[in-house]
């Protein structure tokens, strides 16, 4: 049984306050001006606001939708210093953007989102509602590996949290109690009782790696949509394995279709590495760009076999 004393609560409170103080120099407010058609004057700038954080001297991560279509981007650091920023790379499919600005602030420590557990206490820090002052909300990780589909974007492998994420928080970090960024807060569902989502920090790391290697965000694609298999799903639908990735859609004309992969197949490994999460498959595919193919181990009914599928780079 969990026993919590008043002293423990006070210690936790002081610890959280110290974490916020520690990461505050890394958090920035992002101000944008987006050209908007005007009835009488052609175009007039519309201001927008979001959040972001320093990942290396002179480099800031935020959401793609925060800076999309912006003609001007400014960064306001926690000490009030303001700098112009250049959008170095933007990836709407991951809802991530990398900004380059003057070296200021303190790079945040990046955690390992593969180690995030349901029930873990997290902090969402940002500049909600366009206020030029950071605010903090606390909650727990309520789920991992979530998929968010809207008319604008399809995001996979998200961290779900009940920490309040308001407009303007987008692009700010989701922090664990080690003071590490484990995600980038990206969206809320307005009618879902405060459910918020964050892009895993390991996705950010791969986004940066692709930019360093290819000069732009690169997508390696085989043409499938998958969902993780768990014991509950396995029992409900009589799936022959309790771990893996269930193929829910195969894109017509894709390498996956040409290789013979079918909807209902379960991918249990890729290049001999277990695939328990969508990010496991994506990582192996991206690491296999130079080989231009990936070998999948597939379960179909009572059969288990391997097949090779090509990779398309976008």
How many whole angstroms separate alpha carbon 246 and alpha carbon 24?
41
Which of 233, 250, 255 has its CA nearest to residue 242?
233
Active site positions, annotated:
65, 95, 170
Cα dihedral 32/189/150/254 (nearest 10): 110
Distance CA 265, CA 228 (A): 12
Strands (E), 6-115: 27-38, 42-56, 59-62, 72-77, 82-84, 86-91, 96-100, 109-110
- CA atoms of 176 and 118, how far apart (whole Å): 12
CB contact at 8 A, 61 and 184: yes
Which residues on adjacent β-strands are paired with residue 300?
303
Contact 201, 113 (CB under 8 A): yes
95: left (phi over 0), alpha (psi -120 to 50) or beta: left
- 133 burial via Cβ count (<10 Å: 0-12, 13-18, 19+): exposed
Cα–Cα distance measured from residue 310 to residue 139, given in angstroms and rounded to the nearest whole number: 42
């Amino acid at each position: 049984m969990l026993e919590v004393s008043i002293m423990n609560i006070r210690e936790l409170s002081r610890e959280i306050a110290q974490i916020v103080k520690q990461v505050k120099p890394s958090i920035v407010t992002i101000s944008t001006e987006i050209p908007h058609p005007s009835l009488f004057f052609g175009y007039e700038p519309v201001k927008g606001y979001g959040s972001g954080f320093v990942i290396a001297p002179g480099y800031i991560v935020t959401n793609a939708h925060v800076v999309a279509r912006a003609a001007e981007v400014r960064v306001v650091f926690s000490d009030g210093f303001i700098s112009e920023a250049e959008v170095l790379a933007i990836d709407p499919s991951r809802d991530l953007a990398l900004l380059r600005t003057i070296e200021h602030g303190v790079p945040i420590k990046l955690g390992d989102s593969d180690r995030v557990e349901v029930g873990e206490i997290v902090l969402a820090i940002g500049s909600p509602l366009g206020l030029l002052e950071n605010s903090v909300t606390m909650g727990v990780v309520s789920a991992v590996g979530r998929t968010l589909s809207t008319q604008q974007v399809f995001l996979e492998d998200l961290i779900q949290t009940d920490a309040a994420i308001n407009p303007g928080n987008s692009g700010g970090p989701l922090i664990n109690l080690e003071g590490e960024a484990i995600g980038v807060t990206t969206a809320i569902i307005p009618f879902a009782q405060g459910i918020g989502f964050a892009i895993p920090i390991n996705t950010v790391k791969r986004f940066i790696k692709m930019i360093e290697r290819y000069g732009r965000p690169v997508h390696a694609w085989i043409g499938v949509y998958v969902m993780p298999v768990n014991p509950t799903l396995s029992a409900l639908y009589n799936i022959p394995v309790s771990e893996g990735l269930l193929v829910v859609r195969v894109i017509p004309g894709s390498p996956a279709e040409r290789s013979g992969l079918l909807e209902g197949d379960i991918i249990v490994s890729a290049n001999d590495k277990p695939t328990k999460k969508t990010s496991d498959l994506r990582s192996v595919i991206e690491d296999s760009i130079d080989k231009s193919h990936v070998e999948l181990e597939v379960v179909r009914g009572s059969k288990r076999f391997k097949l090779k599928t090509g990779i398309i780079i976008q």
